[in-house]
Structure 1
């Protein structure tokens, strides 16, 4: 692991004034006696104002809006110490459902300051080097996955390397169960995600494995893929409730949805990738193409992308909520969805930010030359010309380019704290925007 190098914006403005109001009491702005207003009403009012601010101006606008509420008078100020209020706001605004900090108020403040760091390019940069494989053959990183404490990298030989984020140390390498190959890249990792203390990953041949993070041992094969029957598994993702695979190669079998608890198949169907059947088969011998992407949002909705079509699929009821076809092709590698937004870049280099599930346009920006991309709740990271450029998603404002140039990325991911990418230099490039409280 390389030595971390801090990077920060040259701006000296106080970007956390709204948050600081939550911690430093002030009695200079008392206006009227509102002691007759019940506390639950004030909490509900504060929550609604926060939601309105987030929807109208973005999540960073919530803190100053709340600060104005808390300054009305001493009674209104007192609700700033309400643990249920901060728990509700942290879940609604930042989609955090468990604590990493002492209180929900501290958790909210940390999330706000971290989001400000994303906007102002304040981060710590490190690289995590891959341990060599047994044959010392070159590896291509195909997928990345992030959790609060770990990052996993999935490779073209089917192996998955797990790293501990706080220390940057390599923890272990998972190897899938071996069987006959149909194509030299049939074992290549096509998708993975963390769920509780497990890492779930899948390969192009349709095999799905589950590995324990806490208990050493070989991964368990949860499903044996059947390429001839189902086609090639081009992308795979999941959540606490669902596992979703996107297949290409066999008609009317684009989506495979599994219950994450029982691991049983609950739905097979869809025609999203039917026009890409031939390209799907080619992935078994050539990894350079991107056929389709599948993502799950916080509302149990799946967003599917191909080069010509985007759909939003209700996983609970197995119905399509919205879909759109495009005359100009979509760069599937730069398509992503997170929370209430999705992003895709068309053949002219125009990035569209759409609302999930309606597909209503939020904004657009220019991202010519894009190769890969990913988004979190407020920002878009797109690999362009060997560097990674960042836009905000509320208005499509271009913010900056990360200082470190890594060449053409083969895999990218970001969440509400980290951004990570792999290229041909056998390392994970990791940018940590986490606030230091």
Structure 2
């Protein structure tokens, strides 16, 4: 999709981008020194990358992969967005290159506002201007047993045929690790049959773990099989929870506590019980207060046709407002699975955010590269180090001692991949 089509198809993405643009213009823009500081202050416990986009290509200046494949996944998303741009370059924002620093951290990636992050606090002042990336799970999350998000969307759609609404599980479902996080601990307490009489009639909530063992841990449920249940629970943890996009892709009603973190697609979430476009339920809180009452009402109204409002069938809408469960579930499919969570939406968002970001780069603060004239436009603006053709040397390649063979400079993303995706620069 071109930029105009993206804006028409996914208008809810753009207010946050406009807010960031205004914030950074008010702060005077982003300098080369800002990015130096951003890279230096990224939390060392998490992976990070510093990248350059030039001539429709992605170049890597610095890569530090964390304990998982998150940075590789984030770079894949950016590469896909850049190389599928109908204009072939992000010229609408800046014809002379873009440089940015990104972090995979769940939260508090850096004290520097210029770092691109995967989530931010709901109450964060707009003046901070945090640029949000789609989280790594939009590419793939192999550490949790989830393949590509594209494949998950296919499997989620398949569940519509394998487990239509009438045959879905009728208890609210959650699997995960509490890990001391207050929302998850509260959820387990409120659904424990040993503590709450009758909880087994409405809740199927159990702890799982990828590593821990013990009587309190139960078998994992593949993420797409969550879609075989009518009601699902979204819980935050260390910050946002990466499960959200998967749950909201099911033809199910997802119930969340009051969320404290937001991601790039959250403007498309609608918890307004008086809106016929509602696509999930957000409890008033604190935490999961009201979960039992809401779940029992979901169970009691599960058979009400999509076309009918609860107020007209019950007289009192209660916790659900006007929308029967099937309408909320269908809205999630139409607005999220088929629209704002699609690969097309992810690419559109990223391109638009990058174009806006490019407009606040103070390119006159970038040092002039010795090889700059070898690039187009006389090498004006931001160019990769050591190029064109940087990051390689005879005798290099996968598994080789890249320092010994004298590899220097920024490496093009595709070459980095076929070289084994090493941390960069070689050390």
The TM-score, its normalising length taken from structure 1, stands at 0.28
Q: Which has the higher contact order (CA 8 A, sep 6+)?
A: 2
Structure number having the greater helix percentage: 2
Structure number having the greater strand percentage: 1
The TM-score, its normalising length taken from structure 2, stands at 0.29
